[in-house]
Structure 1
């Protein structure tokens, strides 16, 4: 991962001919800034510095280098005199003047500036406050306070002086080798560029790209943090490329999906410069589209880029969370190639467009309220996040794997995106846990929706051949609810499905005659196995006979009897499978009819 981020940063820096100092600046944090307040200082011919005035100007993104903005500690100064104003007096005292006090001994220019500021601090603060108070509420939100110098009719900004840049760079990279009073520095071969030079030992943690932390003794050589540089020391030049790579993915390849935030990190196999240039141009085109339309989704556009790529690169997906400004990696997926992502996208489109899920069948199952196929119906009403054609499988997976089970969710996403096998029984258990919860809470409409969500998900995984072992979900071959029976490849599945259909028809008769459905309480909370299926079969037949309705469904009863007899020799469904096929039949049972000549109509 470090090597990929380093390479990406180096390509970006070279492509943009980027200055070193630009890499470490927090310029993106000024994107909502409208105004800049300059404390203007005059330098006379003798090199003496005097305060002139406070000047208000419009913020310009093109002048970010002049501002040298780099955020520091929330309780201390920034890494340059430039600071965003919270309250004029607080920012002026704690951020602005204090920076000069802390660094006065480093350079004569800084020391003389401090003397001039200190001598006129009341006037300077008064002007800052007056100008700030006159601003509109929108402009006040992010006002930048900084300093510049005028001499011989020329204006010089912080970036024009090496001392300001060098101090910023030194302070910015300090955490790459320093932890408290301890330092991890040595002479060795750099882990990234393979050159022998001074290297630092705490770089991954400084950049925010490590699973372990060097402040824990077990993660350091000889249990000593000062020797960490011996393990994977990185030189100063490579630190900046790493930071550039991190900023690239933060700016362009930083996504949020279904409760998780993640970076996409490309790794180039060959023709690296050409492939990067092509990818970068496509990314910039996305950014330009987003400037003019809020409807352009970053994730959708990235997926469209992937669809055009060949396997000349691969992607790494780094999932993370930020708590109290602390960056923590929670998951990492390696070696995802474009062709596999393309197959995932295409399979989603194929499953979404299956005849079983088309508008006509959805109207039969869910009524006329909404139009379109199933995914179109639920995409904007999904419980957690809207779905789209590129990510709906993740949304449905998240519906069955709760937020307090992120570990399992991450493992499944990892398996899917790297084409590794998945445990069929684990997925089905999670699905049935949700459906049983719906059943217990009498959320029958939600249960119906979750059945069709699960069908989409299971067919999708089946079509990608991701299930471990011999278990399959071939229902995707069905063209209508009635046709589901013909796609089931096992007599036990057929028996469960048809018993679910018959049970649904019984509850409809009950509701018509009694205004309630007491029989649903006899279904063991949808915890069914072979013995309970046989018991339930007898109970359903008895009840239908009691309501003088058995003769309507003799053909269904005949099929159940036949399939139960065949399956009796070897019942190979576990509780979750038995329950799933039963509840699937129950869900579509209202309008289900066997495709038999001369069947009785209700």
Structure 2
């Protein structure tokens, strides 16, 4: 990954300043394209003394002359150039830079010059602040501003890049960021840089972008527990360090995407002999999407981020691979949760291809099994939000996210993401347990279960079609092959009931490898039809209490069939004797002591409840209302 970041940094630096180490440190304050106004606080100098001249408004040009290198929050920027948030707050921060002169690696004379500059600005504090506020208020709508120091020589304005004091401060601060941390210096003398593999006069210990370890805590660091010796772990010279920093800044700015409570950085890497043009396509893809505003492609994405570019990466050839670094940000520090390296475009293409196939398969459920209001909020298509639904954030609302079983759900979600991208096995029984838990929470709360159930079934299909769902069944040998044949409304209409059932099981054969699962599913259909009749008759569904909170087992399922039949007869609306006969047949075929565990039986029972519209009897149309 370090090599990939370095190559991106090389590209960025080649386009902004050549080989000068100073220019490799400078950042562009207008990197997001919004900082178009420059407010220059101009001083006059005469015989080493300074006085305020004026505040000048300029159009943003040639960012290198401002020597900008920003810091997060209230921390001082490296030089007296800052992005303006609020004029008063930013002006205070601007002034504080001059108060800190004793800490700058300069001669006594240079420090005194900085002190005098600060005094000159403070002497006209109110006038300068008022002038800044006035000019800031005149900026164009949607634009932002930066403040910087300048020097009026009577003819032109000189900028920070023209003054050696500020150049030296920035250069030293740049190297200090790579060599100093926690009040400790870590520098190796005349050692080989781990990036360029050349012996350099100095190498630094804290130049690795997004380090996985904390240097202030004991760990696996070469040199033992001595932080000052941490340069031995990954020694990096100044040239490579600034290169990595440029790549890091670019990636954080251009290739940072939201991901269901987290963020990830997308880091492209070229194989040897790869065409840099492919990297440039990826690097420019986010801006391209921002311009096009491709909101209409929501259903085609793997994530919820409007500017996600995984689909663009998937279209490249395998000369470029991708690393995804998932993180949480705490103030200015990155907490790295997961790093997935070496994802080839062909793998991403497969993820999208399987998604497309499964999405088409579930169009039937989307059209029939969801209410109109549910369709507006939920599209039965695969994205990683489907996975997140069953492994929710620990900060999410609801009992499901707070139960002890799910206190590690953030971690488990990341593990699932890792396995999907990497093609590693996911245990069916682990997943079915979490799906059931989500469904039961809805059922116990009196809410519809169809959305969670169908998303759970969709997720099982997606993982199975990817070939990574382990232990899905013990009774069939071809469970890692995609389900055959997609159901459609047109296909089911007009078919006899038994043929409908047969078509359904054939289209989902990977999940119906046993007669017990088929029996549970069909009984779920029958149970829901009874609940619909009860709601039509009584505006209530007392039979729900007989379903034991959807915690099914073999004895309960076998006991429910005659109870449902009796209730249907009581209501004189038993339109389902053919279905009851098919269920009884599967009971006989499944025998005694079913091998399926209770979570399995529970899921296929509730799946039947929420698939009942696929098996509608013509006599239901006029007299029976649907209940969730």
**2:424 paired residue number:** 420
2: CA distance, partners of 1:88 / 1:357: 54
**1:229 paired residue number:** 231
**1:509 paired residue number:** 533
2: CA distance, partners of 1:112 / 1:171: 18
1: CA distance, partners of 2:553 / 2:72: 61
In structure 2, which of residues 355, 361, 386 is the aligned counterpart of residue 396 of structure 1?
386
**1:194 paired residue number:** 197
Which is worse superposed, 408-417 or 506-515? 506-515
Matches within 5 A, 1:12-91: 12-14=12-14, 18=18, 20-28=21-29, 31=32, 32-43=34-45, 48=48, 50-51=50-51, 53-60=53-60, 62-72=61-71, 77-84=76-83, 86-87=87-88, 91=92
**2:587 paired residue number:** 564
2: CA distance, partners of 1:7 / 1:89: 35
Cα pair distance change 1:469/1:185, threshold 3 Å: same
Q: Are the counterparts in 2 of residues 81 and 95 from structure 1 also a CA contact under 8 Å?
A: no
Q: Are the counterparts in 1 of residues 43 and 50 from structure 2 also a CA contact under 8 Å?
A: yes
- Superposed CA deviations along residues 484-543 of structure 1, whole A, max 9, x for unmatched, are 244433211110111111111222232333332111101111111212211222322333
In structure 2, which of residues 327, 332, 337 is the aligned counterpart of residue 330 of structure 1?
337
Cα pair distance change 1:388/1:593, threshold 3 Å: closer
Deviation at 1:251, TM superposition (A): 2.2
2: CA distance, partners of 1:88 / 1:586: 60
In structure 2, which of residues 533, 544, 554 is the aligned counterpart of residue 520 of structure 1?
544
- Superposed CA deviations along residues 105-163 of structure 1, whole A, max 9, x for unmatched, are 5374663464365257423x243123124246474995433222344834421112343
Deviation at 1:58, TM superposition (A): 3.3
Cα pair distance change 1:211/1:584, threshold 3 Å: same
Which is worse superposed, 482-491 or 408-417? 482-491
Matches within 5 A, 1:224-303: 224-272=226-274, 274=275, 276-281=276-281, 283-284=283-284, 286-288=286-288, 290-291=290-291, 293=293, 295=295, 302-303=309-310
Deviation at 1:560, TM superposition (A): 1.1
Q: Are the counterparts in 1 of residues 343 and 421 from structure 2 also a CA contact under 8 Å?
A: yes
Cα pair distance change 1:97/1:14, threshold 3 Å: closer
**1:479 paired residue number:** 487
Q: Are the counterparts in 2 of residues 347 and 464 from structure 1 also a CA contact under 8 Å?
A: yes
Could you tell me which runs of 5 or more consecutive residues in structure 2 were left unpaired when the two chains were aligned.
Answer: 298-304, 395-408, 474-478, 493-499
Cα pair distance change 1:592/1:288, threshold 3 Å: closer
Cα pair distance change 1:202/1:149, threshold 3 Å: same
**2:496 paired residue number:** none
- Superposed CA deviations along residues 48-85 of structure 1, whole A, max 9, x for unmatched, are 4543512321341x332122122347566431122345
Deviation at 1:266, TM superposition (A): 1.3
Secondary structure of the 1:327 match is: strand
Cα pair distance change 1:454/1:75, threshold 3 Å: closer
- Superposed CA deviations along residues 554-583 of structure 1, whole A, max 9, x for unmatched, are 211221111111112562321111011111
**2:357 paired residue number:** 350
Query: Is 1:176 equivalent to 2:178 in the alignment?
Result: yes
Q: Are the counterparts in 1 of residues 257 and 308 from structure 2 also a CA contact under 8 Å?
A: no
1: CA distance, partners of 2:199 / 2:613: 75
**1:465 paired residue number:** 467
Secondary structure of the 2:233 match is: helix
Residues matched between the structures, number: 568
2: CA distance, partners of 1:510 / 1:74: 61
In structure 2, which of residues 584, 605, 608 is the aligned counterpart of residue 585 of structure 1?
608
Deviation at 1:418, TM superposition (A): 0.8
Secondary structure of the 2:68 match is: coil
1: CA distance, partners of 2:315 / 2:294: 23
**1:320 paired residue number:** 327
Q: Are the counterparts in 2 of residues 311 and 339 from structure 1 also a CA contact under 8 Å?
A: yes
Q: Are the counterparts in 1 of residues 106 and 165 from structure 2 also a CA contact under 8 Å?
A: no
**1:454 paired residue number:** 456
In structure 2, which of residues 446, 449, 456 is the aligned counterpart of residue 442 of structure 1?
446
Q: Are the counterparts in 2 of residues 504 and 590 from structure 1 also a CA contact under 8 Å?
A: no
Query: Is 1:576 equivalent to 2:599 in the alignment?
Result: yes
In structure 2, which of residues 362, 367, 370 is the aligned counterpart of residue 366 of structure 1?
370
Which is worse superposed, 181-190 or 456-465? 181-190
Cα pair distance change 1:306/1:362, threshold 3 Å: same
In structure 2, which of residues 153, 156, 159 is the aligned counterpart of residue 157 of structure 1?
159
Deviation at 1:300, TM superposition (A): 5.3
**2:6 paired residue number:** 6
Q: Are the counterparts in 2 of residues 49 and 113 from structure 1 also a CA contact under 8 Å?
A: no
Deviation at 1:189, TM superposition (A): 1.9
Could you tell me which runs of 5 or more consecutive residues in structure 1 were left unpaired when the two chains were aligned.
Answer: 596-600
**Normalization by structure 2: what TM-score?**
0.82
2: CA distance, partners of 1:293 / 1:347: 25
Cα pair distance change 1:180/1:20, threshold 3 Å: same
**1:598 paired residue number:** none
Deviation at 1:323, TM superposition (A): 1.5
**Cα RMSD over matched residues?**
3.3
Secondary structure of the 1:71 match is: coil
Q: Are the counterparts in 2 of residues 70 and 78 from structure 1 also a CA contact under 8 Å?
A: yes
Cα pair distance change 1:53/1:402, threshold 3 Å: same
Higher helix proportion:
1
Cα pair distance change 1:109/1:49, threshold 3 Å: farther
2: CA distance, partners of 1:561 / 1:294: 52
